[in-house]
Amino acid sequence: MMIKNKTTICEAAVKGAMRASNYNNSRYKIFKMIYNVFGLIFGIMLVHSLVVDILGEAEHDNALVWLYGAATAVFLYLGMYGMDRSDRRRFSRNYAKMQGHTFYYEVDSEEIRVKDDEDDSDSIMWQDILKWEQDAEYFYFFASEDECLILDKKGFEEGTPQELGTLAEAVMELRKQQKE
């Protein structure tokens, strides 16, 4: 079975690849969770200090209110935006020259052949694919932590997205069985 796809790389595809690289990245998820939890804890402490101050139940300490406010802002920024911004910068640097270029893929059970609009071509064996992910619009086949092939689900010329998903699952399952 031969599956053919034509994909033009755009900014949305690069952002999708960045998110897909972190789907099962436990280190990323743990740090993101730690930053967000500390931000929420400091936020709760900030609200508590403000409520106590408003009710006049304790002495007012401006330094603690400012400290809690600053810590809340820093931790929530890092957890919600900072880590993703850093990843986006890394992916944008890797894919900046590819945006706007069209890639032609031929996929079978042995390899993925890639040809671009400048007639450069390459073959990637399935054994070199570390993982694959998909979202609503794209398939992502990772050859390393931040290098991947991006296939648009709307760009199939032969075959269907379901067939590619089934092929990828079968090949990866076969590789898993061979390792055991």
Q: How many domains does the chain have?
A: 2
The closest alpha carbon to 17, from 78, 79, 93, 124, belongs to 93
Domain boundary among 95, 112, 129: 95
Q: Does 175 lie in the same domain as 110?
A: yes
Burial class (CB in 10 A: 0-12, 13-18, 19+), 2: exposed
User: Distance of CA 114 to CAs 70, 104, 107, Å?
Assistant: 49, 6, 9
- How does DSSP classify residue 145? S
pLDDT tens figures, 147-176: 788 999 999 999 999 999 999 998 888 877
Q: Does 171 lie in the same domain as 107?
A: yes
Q: Does 89 lie in the same domain as 26?
A: yes
Question: How many whole angstroms separate alpha carbon 136 and alpha carbon 122?
Answer: 26
CB-based contact 15:162 (threshold 8 Å): no
pLDDT tens figures, 65-124: 899 999 999 999 988 887 777 666 766 677 777 888 899 999 998 889 999 888 888 988
Highest mean pLDDT among 17-31, 50-64, 160-174: 160-174
pTM of the model: 0.69
pLDDT at 88: 67
Domain that holds residue 141: 3-10+102-179
